[in-house]
A and B are shown apart, each in its own frame.
Chain A
């Protein structure tokens, strides 16, 4: 299939007109399937001032199969796994919800929107989701602290 053509086109568009707070580049120029995404923490959120590195991997069957998104930078968030994988659970990235006409730009915008408004009902980390719902103040303190600790030195 013409996945290389599609990927190259999307990459060019994202480099030329990147969405707010997001920039992309290839991890290795010879491999268009692995992207390094730099995401700025949105304003008025506990992640403000942080710079988060996100790994985006495209499967060989892209765009018929969805990409996978994982945070390389540690982040305190209900929808990101609290381990060395940093897996992110996005509804639109589940294979039964993904459509081949969906765009990577939309995926990245959705991921950044999750930093503004987490989805506790679709959480990967149940404990953090519970805290987000029942003790927002404490959640924001910890998230801010983690942003200071882990998302400052990223370039």
Chain B
């Protein structure tokens, strides 16, 4: 068991969660109160002023309301600078993919061209309205009744309201289009603005239109991404650029509790960078299913290295690809076998030993891959089993409460331990993918030591966690202690890896 001191100096994950929600004003309280603020209680100061760990990145979670507000404030700003109606400013911003500075600069230089390219044109009528035009025939449906309600956008192309409505409905509902809906006239690229749309469509369609516009806002901005968790409607803002993804793993945490990589959108995969993760997943997809079988049942042709399965009892093999003849037992040339064809006990000929060396190298490479893959897969499997761990934990907590007379607050240590286990397993899983691509050096040794420490701590905590409910009350301090230790080992491993990644210290056996 670890010492009490060690437990006390570590901020538990609960406290970390709490700190993550603090605003930047709170984080700078220390400076506001001067140097005397801590009055010797450094632990308290740590709670108030949380320092960012090397593997953490700055990010901000945005709700649909936040996204709307952000959009509207940018539209209002551009609208006032350029002196355009808000709906036109919105079209321009979407055309410029929300790059305000670039848009304003381009607009000042060549306003007419920009308006044309964005599908706006020059006339800006204040209030769109429908009207009945005597003798008008709609070129879409060919109706020409005297009381036919019609609508024309600023481009002047007039259609009956029913056709216009049907067209907009199809674009929004079926095609999921919002930001670039053009005038229904052939060869007219004028964009339908929000005022026209609001005049013509139902409330249900207006909502859908608004949702789609919000979606394009997030999709168009490089520093915004939707949380990939099912049914989550939050977006995350993060300033990490694509070019930095080999130096940092930008893990972000959504308000829905889902953690994912801002770079590639996959679940949190620290410590390996996105490019390694992509390589590893592809390799696993291609290799792992068959690797074990290949290892056990096949050999490579000594000449062309094609993988060969022995399909008969005879040791005289002829490679189908290059027609090379060799002995299955010693891998030597068949022509060197003289008369001892079916009973090979030779080991010395050069051709055989060379072939066996190549074979050994190939097998060693496969063995190495399987070593890392099996450990990766083991943690992945454990993580899958951990998915229903929370429900089990809740049951355990309820049972423990009733059996030991502890309060609900007092049994929370099990929930904390459960979360730590899941988080550490996730990290461990990816450390094996990372280690597979590491070239051997001193740093690798340190990394593997950290990995081993975390592995042992996790197994130890897992063992305690599985104990019968009757024993859990007595193990509370041990479990708390081990939970804190696991969290600490994880932080150490990730911090060390992230530092070295930032400083380009890691040497990989592949090109990133």
Contacts and interface: CB of A to CB of B under 8 A. Distances in A.
Interface of A: 1-3, 5-6, 9, 61, 63-65, 95-96, 99-103, 106
Interface in B122-165: 139-143, 157, 159, 162-163
Contacts of B166: 1, 64
Contact of B167 (A3, A6, A64, A103): A64
B80 interface: no
A99 B185 contact: yes
A111 to B, nearest CB: 16
Shortest Cβ-Cβ A-B pairs, 5 listed: A2-B141, A6-B142, A100-B140, A102-B186, A5-B142
Given A95-B175, A101-B139, A101-B186, 18 more contacts: A1-B141, A2-B141, A2-B142, A2-B143, A5-B141, A5-B143, A6-B142, A9-B142, A61-B170, A64-B166, A96-B177, A99-B182, A99-B188, A100-B167, A101-B157, A101-B185, A102-B186, A106-B186
Residue of A5, A65, A101, A103 most packed against chain B (CB within 10 A): A101
Contacts of A65: 170
Nearest to A61: B170
B142 A1 contact: no
A63 B140 CA distance: 7
Contact of B140 (A95, A96, A101): A101
Interface residues of B, number: 20
Contact of B184 (A9, A100, A106): A100
A17 to B, nearest CB: 17
A20 to B, nearest CB: 20
A101 B157 CA distance: 10
A149 B141 CA distance: 42
A1 B163 contact: yes
B390 to A, nearest CB: 44
22 contacts: A1-B162, A1-B163, A1-B166, A2-B142, A2-B143, A3-B141, A6-B140, A6-B142, A64-B166, A64-B167, A64-B170, A99-B185, A99-B186, A99-B187, A99-B188, A100-B163, A100-B167, A101-B140, A101-B157, A101-B184, A102-B186, A106-B186
B8 to A, nearest CB: 63
Contacts of B157: 101
B191 to A, nearest CB: 14
